[in-house]
Amino acid sequence: MAVAAAYGGGGVGLVGVLAAGTLIGQAKLARRTIGIAQSPPPRCDGVYGAEAAEAAGEIPIKLAILGDSSAAGYGVELPRETPGALLAAGLSERLHRPVMVRSMAVVGAQSADLVPQRETVIEWQPDLAVVLIGANDVTHRVRLPVAVAHLAETVRRLREAGIAVVVGTCPDLGTIRPIAQPLRWVVRQWSREMAAAQTIVAVEAGASTVSLGDLLGPEFAAAPERMFSSDRFHPSALGYASAAAAILPSLVAALREAPEAQPSLSHGEGVRSLAQAAVEAVDRAGTEVSGARVAGRETGPAGRWAQLRHRVRQLTERPHDPQTAHSTPARSAAE
């Protein structure tokens, strides 16, 4: 996939133009099906690892979740099954500290809807923010430069406020079976272009990114009833756990007070131009991309330098529902 496509929003050319109307119709049908759900996603807000806090008297790490239904945990029934709960519990386990999480994510959100979410996050002043966005921009055919500009501004504002940021890039919507071929191929191309562009702008703005790509693809093909929820569009609890396992190592790295020792790099890892790293990350789910320096410089002949790394996924045992003494009132998660 050309880097020009990632910036230009050209989609897949004539095929994309001809298919757009039908795709939008299918997307609307899927959203109507989703809209009849009985309840919004459960709230994950609260403190995880609270017992450790009481024993050691430690101040909790503050974690904010921004984005769309994939960030909110649409499709699960219990707070402990949501991405926010899984990530907070995982951080608590690995850093041996309590974690307070708040979710500002809204079902149906597009990148433009990050604006009010980020303002609430900045007011709260967490240590770390996780952003999961992009799928609704793809299904609504929001122009690529417009969508990623909102993401870039959100990352910049959060970083200026001293908040570490990890972005989970747009998943491969071609794994969604209710979208029939050949449109599934088209939406896969659109998703990949969105993910590559998100990687470029987010890293340039100071975030680390994690490619979600076709993370659920192989598992879905083998057991769709286990990896996706009943609407066949959003992940199941197991699907969210798989995504959280890919994101968690990058969260741990982002919160380390001292830089971690540089590990020996495996095949396919290392420093390259940001544009090249973005394209490679799209092809392998779970790949982290972050800013890098070469000879003390952030840029080279091909632009911004980036570090590409395949971190080992870290599964987290399903946590207990959080202590809610520090939780905020539930927000509306309606589309």
pLDDT tens-digit map of 201-220: 999 999 999 998 776 666 65
Tokens (6 digits) for 13: 């050319």
- Report the C-alpha gap between 297 and 275 in whole angstroms: 17
Q: Tell me: the pLDDT tens digits for 228-274?
A: 555 556 677 778 888 899 999 999 999 875 444 445 555 568 899 99
Is the torsion defined by CA of 294, 313, 315, 212 positive or negative? positive
Domains with residue ranges and CATH for the chain: 3-257+267-310 (3.40.50.1110)
Residue 172: the pLDDT is 82
Residue 24: the pLDDT is 61
Residue 256: the pLDDT is 78
Low-confidence ranges of the chain (pLDDT < 70): 1-39, 50-57, 175-184, 215-234, 257-268, 315-335
Q: Which residues are catalytic?
A: 69, 231, 234
- Report the C-alpha gap between 69 and 132 in whole angstroms: 9
Look up the pTM and report it: 0.82
Tokens (6 digits) for 313: 């996924």
Burial bucket for residue 295 (CB in 10 Å: 0-12, 13-18, 19+): exposed
Helix axis angle for 144-160 and 183-204, nearest 10°, is 30
